Structure 1
C-alpha cells in the first residue's frame, strides 16, 4: 500500500503531464494558425485558447480551407487535452484531501493501539532531540506539536504526531495518555509546562512526568504541579561545557559509553520482584559480578539511595538496581534475577 507521500507525488506527476500536454497543444495550435491563416501570434493564441476551452466567441473565423481542417483537429485534440488537465486537477484536489484524511485516521489508529509509550509535548530544539533519542533507544512515542510546519516535518520522518495544543485535555486523550508510561513536557515556556503537567496528572495520576524549565524559580512550581523530574537544558549544557574543559577525557569516556551504540554498553534499572533468587543475598553472594560481569552502580530502596554499594550490601524485595554493562551481560543478569535455577548458593 502506498503511503501519503507516494500518493501525492503520483497525483502531482499526473497534473504536470496534463499541463504539459495542454501547453504543447496551445503551442502547436498557435503555430498552425499563424501558418494557415497568417494571423499574428497574439491573435493566433487568442483563437487557440478559444478553441481549446470551447468558448468560441466567433469574432475570428478561419478564412482558408487548410485553416478549417486544422481547426477541426485542434478542436478535437484541444478539448481532450483541456478535459484531461481539468480532470487531473480535480483529482489532485479531491484525492489529496482524501489521502490526508486517510493518513490521519491511520495515524490515530496507531496511537490508540499504543501502550506504555511516551508522550512528548513540543517539537522544538529540545523536544526534537528527545524524540530522536527515544527512537534510537527503541521506545514508542507520540509527539504533540501545535506548529503545523514542525508537525509535518516529524510526520515525514515517520513519527506519530498530533498537530494540536498539548494543554488541552482532548489532545492528551488523543495521545492515549491513560495508557502512557511517561510524558515529557518540552514546551518553550515554563508556564505552559506547568499547565501540561497539571493536566497530565489530572488525566493519569500514575504517569511519570518529566518537565523542562528555563527559569530556576519555576522548578518548585513544576514539582508542586506534579512533575516527577524537572530538567534545565541550560544547566545541563553549562555543566557539560565546563566539564569538557576541566575533565575532557572523563567526559569523552562517558559520552562514548552512553551514545556509542557500537560499544553496546547500557545502563538499566532492574526491579527486584517477589520470588527473585537475588532477594536476601549480598552483592558478593548474589553472583551478579561473577556470573554476568555487570556492575551495580547504585541501589534505590524506597526513598534511600545507596551509591557505590559494597559487596556486603544485601538485596531486598522491591529494590531497584542501577546496573551498567554490555547488552549480553545485562541479559544474563535478567535471567539470573528471574530464574532460581541460575542462582548458586
Structure 2
C-alpha cells in the first residue's frame, strides 16, 4: 500500500466500502430468500442506490430486516462514497495525480538536464529558449502548477522552494548539467548557488543578480555567470540608439530565436574522436549544410572570430555556427549535441 498515493488510498477505501455493502447484502438475501447471486446483487444495488422497484413477492421477514439494515446503514455510506468519488473526479484530482505520477516517471530517467529556479519573466524566457533548442529542463517555483502559462503545461514542474536542498534533489540536481537561479532575491539565488555546488560540484550555475554588489559574492560561491537583467536592458536600449541596425541584426540571430534557431554551438568533445586534430574544413559544414563557422573558442577560453578553415580542432573547445533555420536543423542532424 505504500506505493499508492493518498488519493489512490482514499479511492480504494471508498470502492471497497461500497463493494462490501453490496456483497454483504447480496449474500444475506441469497441466504434468506434463496435468490440467485445476480438477482441478489441487483436487488442489493437497487436498495443501496435508492432506486427501488418494490419488494419481491413472498419476501420473508428476515429479508425485510436485511433490507431495513441496508437502507439505514448502507444507503448513506454508499451515497457518500459515490459523491466523494464524483468530487475527486470533477475537482480534477485524478488529472493532477496522473500528471504528478508522470513527472515522477520522467524524473527517474532524466539526466544532463537544466533546472530553472523561479518561473517569473526571466524563468519563462529561459524555458522558451530551452524548448526551442530541445534541451530537457525542470521548473521549480513556489506557485502551484495551475498558475503557470498553458504553453508550459506539459513541462516537468516541481512545486516548492528552490533554496531547500530536498527540492533541488527532487529536481535531480545531482544529475543535472546546469541550473538557472532567477529568483527575485539575491540572497535566495546565493543559497541556490551554494547548495547546488555542494550537491553537484560539476554543475554549471547561471545566476540572476539585482544589485551589482552581489555579483562578486555569487561568483565566489561558484556561479559561472551572473546576469543583471536591468543592466543588460539599459545597455541594450542605448545600443539601439548608437548602432540600431547592428543590434537588431544580432537580436534577430540570438534573441529572437524563440521561434527559429539561427546560431548553434558544437562542442568538440561531442564530435567523433576522428575529428580531433583535423582541420575545420574536414567537418564539411558549409558544403553539406550551407552553414558558416563564425567563431571558435579554444581550450584556454580564448575566442577566434571567423577562424580559418585550416584551424585544427582541439578537445574541450567549441565551434560557433551561423545559418538559416533549415540549415541549422540539417547541421543538428549531422552532429547531434
Shorter-chain TM-score range:
0.5 to 0.7
Q: 1:155 to 1:141 in 2, by over 3 A?
A: farther
Whole-Å Cα distance in 2 between the matches of residues 213 and 196 of structure 1? 12
SS in 2 for 1:120: strand
Counterpart check, 1:209 vs 2:205: yes
Q: CA deviation at 1:335?
A: 7.9
Q: CA deviation at 1:313?
A: 3.5
Report the more deviating stretch, 190-199 or 256-265.
256-265
Q: CA deviation at 1:334?
A: 6.8
**Structure 2 residue aligned with 1:324, among 322, 325, 330?**
322
Q: 1:130 to 1:292 in 2, by over 3 A?
A: closer
Q: 1:290 to 1:139 in 2, by over 3 A?
A: closer
Report the more deviating stretch, 207-216 or 151-160.
151-160
TM-score by length of 1: 0.63
TM-score by length of 2: 0.65
**Structure 1 residue aligned with 2:85, among 83, 91, 107?**
91
**Structure 2 residue aligned with 1:146, among 129, 139, 142?**
142
Does the 8 A contact of 2:113 with 2:137 survive in 1?
yes
Q: 1:321 to 1:154 in 2, by over 3 A?
A: same
In structure 1, stretches of 5+ residues that fail to align are: 1-81, 339-345
Q: CA deviation at 1:327?
A: 4.8
Whole-Å Cα distance in 1 between the matches of residues 193 and 80 of structure 2? 51
Q: 1:103 to 1:176 in 2, by over 3 A?
A: same
Q: Equivalent residue for 1:246?
A: 242
Counterpart check, 1:267 vs 2:261: no
Q: Equivalent residue for 1:302?
A: 299
The root-mean-square deviation of aligned C-alpha atoms, in Å, is 3.2
Q: CA deviation at 1:201?
A: 1.0
Q: CA deviation at 1:265?
A: 2.1
Does the 8 A contact of 2:295 with 2:307 survive in 1?
no
Whole-Å Cα distance in 2 between the matches of residues 177 and 200 of structure 1? 7
Aligned length: 254
Q: CA deviation at 1:147?
A: 2.7
Q: 1:130 to 1:304 in 2, by over 3 A?
A: closer
Q: 1:323 to 1:175 in 2, by over 3 A?
A: same
Whole-Å Cα distance in 1 between the matches of residues 84 and 78 of structure 2? 10
Q: CA deviation at 1:85?
A: 9.1
Does the 8 A contact of 2:117 with 2:139 survive in 1?
yes
In structure 2, stretches of 5+ residues that fail to align are: 1-75
Whole-Å Cα distance in 2 between the matches of residues 253 and 297 of structure 1? 15
Does the 8 A contact of 1:298 with 1:321 survive in 2?
yes
